[in-house]
Amino acid sequence: MSLSAIRNGDASQMTALIFPETVNHHGTLFAGAGLALMSKAAFLAASRRARRRVVMAASDKIHFRTPVLPGQMLELTATITRVGRTSMGVDITGEVETLTTGARHLAMSGHFDMVAVDESGRPAPINPDTMEAQA
């Protein structure tokens, strides 16, 4: 798995190779494993934006559009869509690629609300300067 920054905005990408131990009895990516990957991507993007501890407050509009098979690469893009005083909205898209052909298509998407927290786990302000510092 890898993570990279996208320079033109509050976005990050994460890639994962799908292994057989993450599939269900149908031979496709288990939805719980897909949701875990999406939440990890949301966490990483929000952490990079806030530069402090973050937790997930909610997930919404999770769509598994097509099956993901073992041996395929899943590329998740996490985009910060909203920044409030203590919370952020993160949209996730997941494109699957068949490595032997290069064919790609949208496989999953979702929205996550992430909250910056202090050492006590209480909501904490997001520093508005972190965006400019990352540019």
Q: Which two tokens stand for residue 127?
A: 């520093």
pTM of this prediction?
A: 0.87
pLDDT digits (tens, 9 = 90+) for 42-53: 999 999 999 999
pLDDT digits (tens, 9 = 90+) for 3-48: 444 434 578 999 999 999 999 999 999 999 999 999 999 999 999 9
CB count in 10 Å sphere of residue 19: 11
Is the pLDDT at 98 greater than 70? The verdict is yes
Distance CA 123, CA 105 (A): 37
CB 96 within 8 A of CB 104: yes
What one-character DSSP code corresponds to residue 119?
Answer: T
Total domains, the chain: 1
Domain that holds residue 91: 2-134
Task: State the pLDDT at residue 129.
Answer: 66
pLDDT digits (tens, 9 = 90+) for 49-94: 999 999 999 999 999 999 999 999 999 999 999 999 999 999 999 9
Q: What mean pLDDT do residues 126-134 have? A: 63
Task: State the pLDDT at residue 10.
Answer: 76
Is the pLDDT at 127 greater than 90? The verdict is no
CATH number at residue 118: 3.10.129.10
Task: State the pLDDT at residue 130.
Answer: 57
3-state SS string for 13-81: EEEEECCHHHECCCCCECHHHHHHHHHHHHHHHHHHHHCCCEEEEEEEEEEECCCCCCCCEEEEEEEEE
Instruction: Name which of 61, 50, 30, 65 is nearest 116 in CA terms.
Output: 50
